[in-house]
Each structure stands twice: as C-alpha cells, then as structure tokens.
Amino acid sequence: MSSLLLGMLLAGAMPSADTIVRRADKAVLGDSVTYRLRMSVVRPGRSDRVVEMDGWKKGDDLGLVRYTAPAKERNTAYLRSGDNTWLYLPAGEKVVRVGAKQNFGGGDFSNGDIFRLSLIKDYDPTLVGEETLDGIACFKLELKAKNRSVAYDRVAYWVRSDGTFYPLRADYYTLSGKKLKWLSVTKVAPLGGRERPTLLTMENALEVGARTLLEFLAIQDDARIDDRIFTPSALEKGE
Amino acid sequence: MPRVTSVVILAALCSAPASRAGSRELEAGVEDLWYRTAETPLNRDNILGLDENENLLRGSLSWKQTQGAAKLVFKGFVERSSGADARTTWTARQAYAQYGWGPGVQVRVGKQRLAWGSGFAWNPTNRLEPPKNPANTSLEQQGSLAARLDILPANWAGVILVAAHGETGAGDLPFSVSASERNTGALRARFLVKNTDLAAVVSGGERQPTLLGFDLGRDLGGISIHAEAATYQGSEIQPARPEERFFRLSSGLLWSRGTTSVTAEYFFNGEGYSAVQTRAYLGSLDAAYAAATNPLLPPAAQREALARYGVFASLPFSGGLGLRRHYLYAAWARSEIRGKWTTALRGVVGLSDGGVALTPGLVYAPRSAFTISLDGVILLGPSDSEYRLAPLRGAIQARVKALF
C-alpha cells in the first residue's frame, strides 16, 4: 500500500518523458532563433581546426548554418528542412544533398546532431529514472529512434532535474549496441538574455582523445526570420 | 556587361551605407594565370600568335551588399595580358541586383551565375552560361546577362524562369576563341519528392535547338548522388546534324568523411565524335590549314580557308561540352592543420581518347580572412587526344584573396 502511494506521488511530481525532452529541446535554443557558433575539432597530435558560423533556426523543421571563418570556407552552408539536409559548396556554387548520419564540417558531430531540431520528433523517449551525474541530479531517459534515417539507433540521455531541464549528457549507440560517441554540456552561462548551456563537447568513442567543441558566441531568441532562407533555392544563391 | 555599367553598379555599391539591418562583404584579390603554350593541330605554326609563356595578371574585386530583402553584388576583375598582343581588359563576372517579395517570389537582374544543374564538371541542361574551362573546371565562372524569377509556392516545389544573353566560349584561356552569343529562355520546375530533389528543364532560343532535361539529387547511405540529363534535336558542334536527336548525361557522387571529400562524375556526350569522326575532324583542320597556306590559291580563298580553320580550331572551346563522347571527372580534397591547408587533386579523363587534364591544387589560409590558392594544370595523353590538341602544355593558376 505504501509503495503504491509513493508511486502515485512520484507520478504526480515527475514530468513525463515527453515533457522532459521537449523542455530540454528548448533549453539551449528557442523556437525562432539566430546564433553565432564556434566549432573546434580536436585531434590528438594535431592542431585544432576552428570554424565559425552563423546559424538560423525556426520551429522544429527549419535550420541553416553558414560558415563565416576561415575565409577559404566562408559561405559553406548546411540547410535542414524537415528530413532533408543540403550542403552548399561555394567554390563550385553547388548545392548537394547530404545525409543525417554524415559528419558535420569534419568534426565529431553528425549533420543530425547539429540539426537535431527536435529530439522528440526523431526518438521515442522513456524515463528510466533519476541519477546523479557529476554531482548533479538528473532524469535519465532512453531514446529509441523512430526510423533508420536518424543518426543513432539509441540514445541514453541525462537532463538536469533541478527545474532548468538543461541537457547534461547524451551517449549515442549504434543498432548493434556499440557506443559511438557521447555529448557533454560543459558550460552554462548567461547568453542572449538568459542562462543556458553554451558549450557542448562531443567525444568520439572510436578515437581516443578525439573531440569536437561547439561554443555558442551569441544567441538571439524570438528572432524574426524569413522562411525564404530555408529553401535549396536560396541556398544555391549563397543567401 | 559594358564597362560603364559595371562602374556605375560598383559606384552605387560603394556609396550604399551598411546599416544594422544590412550586411556587406568586400573581397579584393590578385590572380595570375600562367600558361605554357604549344603548337598543336589547333595552333598550326603558332597561328594564334602565342608566346611560349602567356600570362594573365588580374586584380579582382568582389562586393556584396544586403539590405533587407534587397541585394547588390559585383564581382569583377581588370586583366593585363602579356606578350606582343598585351592589352588591358575589364570584366564583370557578376553584377546584379536582387529583390524578394515575401518568402515566395524573388527577382534577380544583371550579369549573374545561374548554377543551372546538379553536375559538378558538366551541366548538360545549362544553355544559359558559358561552358566551364576544360583545363580547370574549378575556376570561378563568369555569369550571363540575365533576368531570373524564382517562384516558391511551397517548400516542396519551385519554378525558376530565366531569360539570358550569354556567350558560348569558355573563359580564362590565353587566346580568343571563335564563339558566338545567344539569347536563351529557360524554365526549371523543381520538386522535393520522397527525400529526392527532382527538376524538369526546358530551354530554347535563337541559334540553338530546344532542350528538354531533368535533374535528380538525393542522399544514398551517406553518399550524395546526382544525375543531370538533356535531349535535343540538332547538333551544337559541327558538322550540322539537324535531324538527329542527341542525349547527354552527367551522373556522379560526393562522399565525405572528416575533412576528406571524394567526388566522381561520368559524362556521356551524345553528340561527341566517334574515332572515325575525330579523324575526319582532324583531317578537316589539316585541309583548311593547307588551303590557307597554299600560295597557289587566290588570296580570297586562302582567307576563307583560314577563317574555316579558325572555326574548326575553336570547336573544343566554343559551345559544346567536349569533342568526344565519354568523360570521367574525379576529385579528392583534404583539409589539414587547423584547416589552414587544403590539398586537392582533380582530374578529367577523356575515356574515348585517353587524354587527361590533371589539376592538383593547394589552398593556404594563414589568417581567417586571407587565402592563397595555387592550382597546376597538366595535360597528358596521346598527342591526338582532346586535351593534348589544346594549344597548351600546362598552366599554373595562383590566386590571393583578402576579405575586409
């Protein structure tokens, strides 16, 4: 009897898996947002590769990033619209399709990670329980891919349970159960008018010491963005 | 585009202030294209008057100003050629104005790149722009004077209408080619169907057969694939074959992992010459030149033969997409060391004749806004292959660009 009561109390206090993932989705970037990002690709024994880019995101389906530095890669751009991703190559003035599983900009993030506009769209979440990770209380969730086009088959996902719903860590697995890489949120700071995760690190399980850092340099929430920039036609014209 | 128009547009761009709602990009550079020339069947007794080493030195400027839904772009260069025929020329690669009304309608007017088709090295559906430089397909292309209307009724569909005035000769060569100009109207209807980009194309105009084409692009297990095809009745290159229907197809893939990318593309040129037709073409060249230099013929006949020789010799660089039927393009590129260095190796192989145009390249970006590019062009293969027929032995193309 007492355990049933405790279960009911917990059910009432604990948000659903869907709610946690939705809140975590919005914790970093809002619904209509522009941002500036620095990506550092770290490889053992080699110098870091640093790329800066501007990004635009609208709703769960539309995303665009355009390189601003270094000069030789300037205007290289990735566009995501629904399940489709395109890459613009300025040297040849060409737009080509790319897959969600292909890596983004030579780093450890996949196109699907960068344009993972909504986890809830790509995965079915299950709340496994609560855990303490690095001294921080978290919800632990298991995310199962809804279809094969998604970058990973399974994701173990930790989200802070202190009311902020900041993502803390995600472990990514293949269909065979092999851990491919893991994502950590390594910095939370005020940016764009509120506190939020600003530094994400993706570490590669297949290469010791290989990792890629994504640092948000500026974020503007509630930005007015013209839908036209999210079309292959606009991408083709370097916009 | 006339020089005066280019200067006016440039002046307008320079005077436009950049406001908080707009953005501006300015890039200046120096380009040097050095060519080692040769006497070949296309340049008998050096009739083109080329020095052994020909050089094109350019100062380039690129300016882009965006203001709300409007955009102005200028990309051009001033060029000084070397040798006895040295001269200075001004060229606008692009100079256009663009405006959009809401998310669905956009107009662009002026000299512009149209990026018509998904092919990397060959675009069979593109009658709107000059063909790419056969020796180095990665060079920045010139646009055509055009009016372009983009209509996007939905995210999964779009229509592009273009009226263009363009040239048929390839650019960035150290000699002039006997090319013509043409007015072309074209329509491209694009659709997104089951994660596949599809497009239907129709184009036509003066001095050209009506062309029907299609384009396809999609991702297949991490590899980007594309196919671009066209059909038309009547040949683009001599001899005239008005009753014959021709097909062209370019199909290829792009694979990338980390900072390495590999590209490959096959091109079928339906109106390209067979081995027999190639021998006939070379025979016509020889016959025309023999007549042009035959002192027994009257001067008028010699001049007429010389003009005929000039037209024949320009065929590989004017209008068509190559003399032969089967080609393969392959490219490998890798970015290294803080992304400062990029090495690339590109090559076009004439599968019909064994000719090769090899283009190794190096890009160095010591600072974020500064880039140095160096490409070599090496032409290899049998002496009667298409790339060895060109009056060139090789080239070095250097470009320095600074972004402000």
Give the whole-angstrom CA distance, residue B133 versus residue B317.
Answer: 8
Instruction: Confirm if B250 and B228 have CB atoms less than 8 A apart.
Output: yes
Give the whole-angstrom CA distance, residue B96 versus residue B164.
Answer: 13
Q: Is the pLDDT of residue B252 over 70?
A: yes
Give the whole-angstrom CA distance, residue B81 versus residue B88.
Answer: 7
Contact status of A237 with chain B (Cβ, < 8 Å): yes
Provide the percentage of residues in chain B whose pLDDT is more than 90. 60
User: How would you class B282 by CB atoms within 10 Å of its CB: exposed for 0-12, middle for 13-18, buried for 19 or more?
Assistant: middle
Q: Is the pLDDT of residue B131 over 90?
A: no
Q: Is the pLDDT of residue B9 over 80?
A: no
CB burial of A3-26 (b: ≥16 within 10 Å; e: otherwise) equals eeeeeeeeeeeeeebeebbbbbbe
What confidence score (pLDDT) does residue A1 get? 40
Residue keyed to tokens 């990792």: A211
Query: % helix / strand / coil in chain B, to the nearest 5?
Result: 15, 55, 30
- Residue of chain B nearest A48, judged by CA positions: B338
- Looking at residues B140-159, what average pLDDT do you find? 89
Provide the percentage of residues in chain A whose pLDDT is more than 70. 92
Question: How many other β-carbons are positioned within 10 Å of the β-carbon of residue B20?
Answer: 5
pLDDT (tens digit per residue) in A12-63: 568 899 999 999 988 888 889 999 999 999 988 877 888 899 999 998 888 9
Mutate to test the interface with B, among A73, A98, A228 (most CBs of B within 10 A): A228
- Counting one residue from chain A and one from chain B, the pairs whose CB atoms sit within 8 A come to 111
Residue of A204, A175, A184 whose CA lies nearest to A107: A204
Contact status of B366 with chain A (Cβ, < 8 Å): no
Question: Which region holds residue B138: left if phi is over 0, alpha if psi is between -120 and 50, else beta?
Answer: alpha
Helix axes of B299-314 and B275-292: crossing angle, nearest 10 degrees = 150
Give the whole-angstrom CA distance, residue B149 versus residue B140.
Answer: 23
pLDDT (tens digit per residue) in B191-214: 999 889 999 999 999 888 999 999
Give the whole-angstrom CA distance, residue B131 versus residue B348.
Answer: 15
Give the whole-angstrom CA distance, residue B256 versus residue A106.
Answer: 9
Beta carbons of B338 and A50 less than 8 Å apart: yes
Residue of B146, B148, B179, B147 whose CA lies nearest to B165: B146
User: How would you class B296 by CB atoms within 10 Å of its CB: exposed for 0-12, middle for 13-18, buried for 19 or more?
Assistant: exposed
Q: Is the pLDDT of residue B78 over 90?
A: yes
What confidence score (pLDDT) does residue B3 get? 46
pLDDT (tens digit per residue) in B96-116: 999 988 778 999 999 999 889
Which residues of B298-383 form beta strands (DSSP E)?
A: 326-336, 341-350, 356-367, 370-380
Give the whole-angstrom CA distance, residue A176 versus residue A170.
Answer: 18
CA angle B291, B297, B303 (to 5 degrees): 60
Which of A156-160, B150-154, B179-183, B310-314 reaches the highest mean pLDDT? Answer: A156-160
Residue of B401, B381, B375, B403 whose CA lies nearest to B393: B381
- Looking at residues B279-292, what average pLDDT do you find? 94
Q: Which helix (H) or strand (E) holds A89?
A: strand A84-89
DSSP helix/strand/coil, B300: helix
Residue keyed to tokens 């370097």: A238
Mutate to test the interface with A, among B129, B156, B161, B224 (most CBs of A within 10 A): B224
Residue B277: pLDDT band (50, 70, 90) is very high
> For residue B11, what are the contacts with CB-CB under 8 A and spacing of at least 6?
none
DSSP helix/strand/coil, B311: helix
What confidence score (pLDDT) does residue B2 get? 45
Instruction: Confirm if B218 and B208 have CB atoms less than 8 A apart.
Output: no
As a whole number, the mean pLDDT across chain B is 88
Contact status of B102 with chain A (Cβ, < 8 Å): yes
- Looking at residues B247-276, what average pLDDT do you find? 93
Give the whole-angstrom CA distance, residue B149 versus residue A106.
Answer: 35
> For residue A190, what are the contacts with CB-CB under 8 A and spacing of at least 6?
A196
Interface ipTM > 0.90: no
Mutate to test the interface with A, among B62, B338, B371, B374 (most CBs of A within 10 A): B338
Question: How many other β-carbons are positioned within 10 Å of the β-carbon of residue A144?
Answer: 14
What confidence score (pLDDT) does residue A13 get? 66
CB interface of B with A, residues 187-216, below 8 Å: 190, 192, 195, 197
What confidence score (pLDDT) does residue B19 get? 40
Side-chain half-sphere of A182: how many Cα atoms within 13 Å? 14
Side-chain half-sphere of A53: how many Cα atoms within 13 Å? 22
Contact status of A204 with chain B (Cβ, < 8 Å): no
Residue of B374, B164, B118, B401 whose CA lies nearest to B267: B118
What confidence score (pLDDT) does residue B337 get? 55
Q: Can you name the residues that pair with B223 across neighbouring β-strands?
A: B220, B255
Cα of first residue to Cα of last residue in chain B, in angstroms, is 26
Q: Is the pLDDT of residue B8 over 70?
A: no
- Looking at residues B334-357, what average pLDDT do you find? 87
CB interface of B with A, residues 267-326, below 8 Å: none
Give the whole-angstrom CA distance, residue B269 versus residue B124.
Answer: 9
pLDDT (tens digit per residue) in A219-238: 999 888 877 788 888 887 76
Give the whole-angstrom CA distance, residue B123 versus residue B251.
Answer: 10
pLDDT (tens digit per residue) in A88-117: 988 777 888 887 777 888 888 888 788 765
pLDDT (tens digit per residue) in A165-202: 999 999 999 888 899 899 999 899 999 999 999 999 99
- Looking at residues B363-391, what average pLDDT do you find? 90
- Chain A neighbors of B367, CB-CB under 8 A: 70-71
Q: How far is B159 from chain A (nearest CA, A)?
A: 10
Q: Is the pLDDT of residue B220 over 60?
A: yes
Beta carbons of A94 and B120 less than 8 Å apart: yes
Side-chain half-sphere of B3: how many Cα atoms within 13 Å? 6
Q: Can you name the residues that pair with B328 across neighbouring β-strands?
A: B266, B349
Beta carbons of B155 and A231 less than 8 Å apart: yes
> What is the reported pTM?
0.85
What confidence score (pLDDT) does residue A12 get? 53
- Chain A neighbors of B335, CB-CB under 8 A: 49, 106
- Greater model confidence, B337 or B332: B332
pLDDT (tens digit per residue) in A118-154: 788 889 999 999 999 989 999 999 999 888 777 788 9
Mutate to test the interface with B, among A115, A231, A239 (most CBs of B within 10 A): A231
- Residue of chain A nearest B217, judged by CA positions: A97
Q: Can you name the residues that pair with B333 across neighbouring β-strands?
A: B261, B344
Contact status of B219 with chain A (Cβ, < 8 Å): yes
Q: Is the pLDDT of residue B51 over 80?
A: yes
Residue keyed to tokens 């609208």: A58
Question: How many other β-carbons are positioned within 10 Å of the β-carbon of residue B68?
Answer: 11
Residue of B394, B216, B211 whose CA lies nearest to B319: B211
Residue of B51, B52, B74 whose CA lies nearest to B63: B74
- Measured between alpha carbons, how far is residue B296 from residues A8, B45, B293, B299, B301 in Å? 111, 19, 9, 9, 10
Out of B100, B254, B369, closest to residue A71 by CB: B369
DSSP helix/strand/coil, A23: helix
Instruction: Confirm if B359 and B134 have CB atoms less than 8 A apart.
Output: no
A23 φ, ψ (degrees, to nearest 5):
-65, -40
Give the whole-angstrom CA distance, residue B226 versus residue B262.
Answer: 14
